[in-house]
Structure 1
Amino acid sequence: MSDIGKILPIEGYRVLLKRSLPVEYTKSLTHLYQPLVGVTAVSLYQTLINELDFQEESAAQTHHTLMNYMNLPLDKIYRSRIKLEGLGLLKTYQHKSSEHSVYTYELLPPFAPAEFFGDDMLAQLLYHHIGESKFTLLQEHFRVQHSDKGTNITAAFNDVFQTFQPDAATIPYMETQENSQVTEETFPSIDFSWMEQMLQSRMIPAKKVLTAANKRLIHQMMTLYGLAEFEVEKAVLWALTEENTLSAGEFKEACHDLFQSKNQSSSIRLAEKTTNKAVETDVKPTTKEEQLISKLENISPKELLEDFSNGEHASGQDLKMIREVMTTQGLPSPVMNVLIHYVLLQSDMKLSKAYMETIASHWSRANLKTASEAMAFAKNQKAQYQERKNKPKNYRKPASKEVVPEWFKERKKKKPQAEQTSTNTAQNNEEFAALLREFSNGKQ
């Protein structure tokens, strides 16, 4: 129900295809993409392809027409569109006007089967969706047959033509022909400084490990398995060869094992991401506490330290200390941010490893996952400490816990009776003496 109203039936759309489709794109859609996104999303993709020949340049089709074509409500069409976007089969552009928005749907060609199996993330997803036997069957069916062509003696451009001598600084560095298509632009911009520092601290050449292809693989596995930075560090160290290169196969297996151990052998499948209601309604944090929690949820520990240092670079010693505490106790990044913030405020802006480890072990046992949980827990613990501190002390001597013999208890019970008997005897003696005095006076 939350997707209703995202787009309206009266709003228009146009379809765009800039690149030609591979010859076997229908096989890719049916056998490789459909297990991941579902039949409705694949049907939407094919419907938009067939719309290319019928759309008019002057007027845009309405989404109501698309609803009639597919016999589906608009919220299901919207969810299918989002799936295509997430898997790289569609780009959507919105043009807002005074009346209604018009959308441009740019179709992206699916991978050919051989390229699909060359993508580590997509191949892993398909493996977990359809199982090992079916995956192996498809992989063998679409395997490219390499014949022995002999030595490549094809003339290069520079061997045949001459234009000018390029500046060496402008030539991009390509490690091998095999990875020539993988550049920094082929994956999202990610800060790998944490990984570089970890490798350098172990005297491992970071540039040799963090190649463009390996960065792309690391990012894909982090996204696929939902791994934290310290878990990826473990996987990278496990998959390093004797030559300090990253074994892609062992790295993928290590990431999968980490996921399995953390999620108790849960199956890996694509599922629609549930967004927070606050995000859906564009509700922004209003109070200072909400703004702080939002910041701690989305910032890295390194950036948090730099904020406290007025933009100065975080020291390697502090980062190493935080990494060791974080990896040892397994704290998520938002919880670690709250811990750093708390320790700095409580310790006159100093980071004490012993103090951090004490609190971190407690928070780890409490199984805190988010910044808001950590902040609420810290407040509660501090309030309990203040309450115990301000509570008036009772100096009453505690009751003795010594074992009292039974004969002593019986003696204490008999003692009051003896005292009472003694009191009665004294009283009787006084009365008797008085009677004697009266008797003596009478005789005289």
Structure 2
Amino acid sequence: MGNQLPNQSYQVFKSRPLSTEGKDALIFLYQPIIESDGLALYLSLAADHQSGTIAADAAEHVILDLLNAMNVGMQRFMQAKEKLEGIGLLRSFEKTDPQQGTSYLYLLQEPVHPLDFFQDELYSYLLLNRVGERKFEQLVSLFQPQRASLTSFQETTTSFTQAYGLDPKRFAASESKLQSVQQAFQEDQQPLALEEAAIDWDFLLYEAQRRYIRSENFTPAFKQKLLMYHALYGYDVLELLDLMADHVSLTTGEVDQKRLEQAVIRKSRQTFSKTTRSEDPETESQLRRFNTLKQNGFSDNDILLIQESEHTAPIPFLKAIKVEKNSFMTDSEQWLIKSLVERSPLPNSVINVLVHYALVVQNNAALNGSYINNIAAQWSELKIGTAEDAIKHVRNLVKTAKEKRTRPQTNGNRIIRQEKLPAWAESPVEEATLTPERQAELDRKLQNYLHKKAGDK
């Protein structure tokens, strides 16, 4: 759907008036999730619908009037609309007319009843994540059904059959009519849904079995939880597997979902704290290391690459490079990186430099399995253990390859046999299609992207 403009028109429809329970759920339970702009947009659209049902002409509305009512600009309006759509409170449709242009239809959905809200783990988790445990418990107490004390009482309630009776033949004769009425009263309510394809389930289930996590754990409800963790915190498949492996019973293979949820929240807070600290001015030790790297001949771009390689996991690092190259991470590349992390002795920072070398320096469109494994095996034998060692090694090999191609060594009339370099090192950097300026630009975008992702978390 294209960008909406303030002068475009829209209509609002809601199948029934907002109920008292729906309004309570909207204010107490949904508002912390959709935030104040989302609440303002919902109530403004509800008011537009109400005025349309009262007015005789039921005229279309203009988005500019909605912006004025909310006292926001288009960016905040679009963000609020997305929040309502994402949690199932709003469905949006557009129509293009050659003469009238583009107009929109907004279908407001009734908020989930508070009792149903707390019985749905996804809604409850969203609320808990936003308000914290203390406020969450207060809201649970506010909406929790009250139960009467029946101690010493005996039930004497008259049954339906005793009170009214039921003629099975007459009921069967009316069944088709009753079913049509039932369908007429069903609302087109969209449940909270997450993008199933956001997680590679085949890969996750395969690796889960290797970690003694039984496939029976992955019920539809649990898969929805994992999708929620991915959507909220950006955890990839490997991170989710690590979290599950820390909270699985080695005897039954069952994941303790309660402890997993607590670990997910705890990890997100630790990640946020780490990110916040990293934005502080450089410590004295960091400054000393920066100066040491500079004295050893590393450029500013080299040092930034070293830092990002040390602070980013291989999968997000690969994904970031792919994003900046307007490409995407393939399944085979994800499996390749996963295999390197598990099987090779190379640390993550060295794997990241290897990925950067293949995709940015040599400008390959994708990671070739045999090519990458060959390099990784060579580096493992050489015991390359740091990002700076990896960068230095690549440069030495390329430099040696250039010199031996342009100036063969001789001893009298006999040509000395040149040492054969690994096949992957024979591809010279100067033959890559990337210019140094383009490589520097891509590196800078990569660093900006990774910093932005860290800030989002």
TM-score (norm 2): 0.55
The 8 Å contact of residues 29 and 42 in structure 1, kept in 2 or not, is answered as yes
Among 202, 208, 212, the alignment partner of 2:220 is: 212
* Distance of 2:213 and 2:119 partners within structure 1: 28
> Shift of the alpha carbon at 1:220?
0.7
Does the C-alpha gap of structure 1 residues 39 and 106 become closer, same or farther in structure 2, counting only changes over 3 Å? Answer: same
Structure 1 residues 237-287: Cα deviation after superposition (integer angstroms, max 9, x where no partner): 2333453333321121122233234333679xxxxxxxxxxxxxxxxxxxx
* Distance of 2:83 and 2:353 partners within structure 1: 31
Among 315, 318, 321, the alignment partner of 2:339 is: 321
* Distance of 2:143 and 2:275 partners within structure 1: 29
> Shift of the alpha carbon at 1:189?
2.3
Structure 1 stretch 330-339 or stretch 238-247: which is displaced more?
Answer: 330-339
Aligned AA for 1:35?
P
What RMSD over aligned residues (CA atoms) do the two structures have, in Å? Answer: 4.9
* Distance of 1:257 and 1:328 partners within structure 2: 28
Describe the SS at the equivalent of 2:12. Answer: strand
The 8 Å contact of residues 350 and 386 in structure 2, kept in 1 or not, is answered as no
Who is 2:238 aligned against? 230
2:179 is aligned with 1:199 = no
Who is 1:135 aligned against? 136
* Distance of 2:123 and 2:77 partners within structure 1: 23
Does the C-alpha gap of structure 1 residues 38 and 199 become closer, same or farther in structure 2, counting only changes over 3 Å? Answer: closer
1:142-157 aligned within 5 A: 142-145=143-146
> Shift of the alpha carbon at 1:111?
2.5
Who is 2:124 aligned against? 123
Does the C-alpha gap of structure 1 residues 196 and 110 become closer, same or farther in structure 2, counting only changes over 3 Å? Answer: same
The 8 Å contact of residues 13 and 63 in structure 1, kept in 2 or not, is answered as yes
> Shift of the alpha carbon at 1:61?
1.6
Identity %, equivalent residues: 20
Does the C-alpha gap of structure 1 residues 384 and 60 become closer, same or farther in structure 2, counting only changes over 3 Å? Answer: farther
Who is 1:33 aligned against? 30
Who is 1:294 aligned against? 326
* Distance of 2:68 and 2:271 partners within structure 1: 45
The 8 Å contact of residues 212 and 253 in structure 2, kept in 1 or not, is answered as no
Does the C-alpha gap of structure 1 residues 331 and 187 become closer, same or farther in structure 2, counting only changes over 3 Å? Answer: farther
> Shift of the alpha carbon at 1:38?
2.5
The 8 Å contact of residues 195 and 233 in structure 1, kept in 2 or not, is answered as yes
TM-score (norm 1): 0.56
Aligned AA for 2:264?
C
Who is 2:268 aligned against? 259
Aligned AA for 1:63?
I
Describe the SS at the equivalent of 1:198. Answer: helix
Structure 1 residues 358-396: Cα deviation after superposition (integer angstroms, max 9, x where no partner): 49x979857xxxxxxxxxx98x97455312444589x9x
Does the C-alpha gap of structure 1 residues 94 and 358 become closer, same or farther in structure 2, counting only changes over 3 Å? Answer: farther
Who is 1:90 aligned against? 90
The 8 Å contact of residues 13 and 60 in structure 1, kept in 2 or not, is answered as yes
Who is 1:351 aligned against? 373
The 8 Å contact of residues 13 and 106 in structure 2, kept in 1 or not, is answered as yes
* Distance of 1:185 and 1:32 partners within structure 2: 14
Aligned AA for 2:246?
W
> Shift of the alpha carbon at 1:217?
0.9
Who is 2:65 aligned against? 65
* Distance of 2:94 and 2:124 partners within structure 1: 32
> Shift of the alpha carbon at 1:72?
4.2
Aligned AA for 2:111?
P
> Shift of the alpha carbon at 1:115?
3.1
Structure 1 stretch 24-33 or stretch 50-59: which is displaced more?
Answer: 50-59
2:102 is aligned with 1:101 = yes
- The structure richer in helix per residue is 2
2:231 is aligned with 1:188 = no
The 8 Å contact of residues 37 and 84 in structure 1, kept in 2 or not, is answered as yes
> Shift of the alpha carbon at 1:349?
4.8
> Shift of the alpha carbon at 1:124?
3.9
In terms of Rg, which structure is larger? 1
Who is 1:44 aligned against? 41
The 8 Å contact of residues 230 and 323 in structure 1, kept in 2 or not, is answered as no
Unmatched runs of 5 consecutive residues or more in structure 2: 162-167, 173-190, 277-320, 410-457
> Shift of the alpha carbon at 1:88?
2.7
Who is 2:258 aligned against? 249
* Distance of 1:257 and 1:301 partners within structure 2: 29
Does the C-alpha gap of structure 1 residues 34 and 345 become closer, same or farther in structure 2, counting only changes over 3 Å? Answer: closer
Does the C-alpha gap of structure 1 residues 95 and 384 become closer, same or farther in structure 2, counting only changes over 3 Å? Answer: farther
Who is 1:180 aligned against? none
> Shift of the alpha carbon at 1:197?
0.8
* Distance of 1:89 and 1:107 partners within structure 2: 6
> Shift of the alpha carbon at 1:87?
3.0
Describe the SS at the equivalent of 1:80. Answer: helix
Unmatched runs of 5 consecutive residues or more in structure 1: 164-183, 268-288, 306-313, 367-376, 396-444
Structure 1 residues 122-148: Cα deviation after superposition (integer angstroms, max 9, x where no partner): 434433443432222112212234679
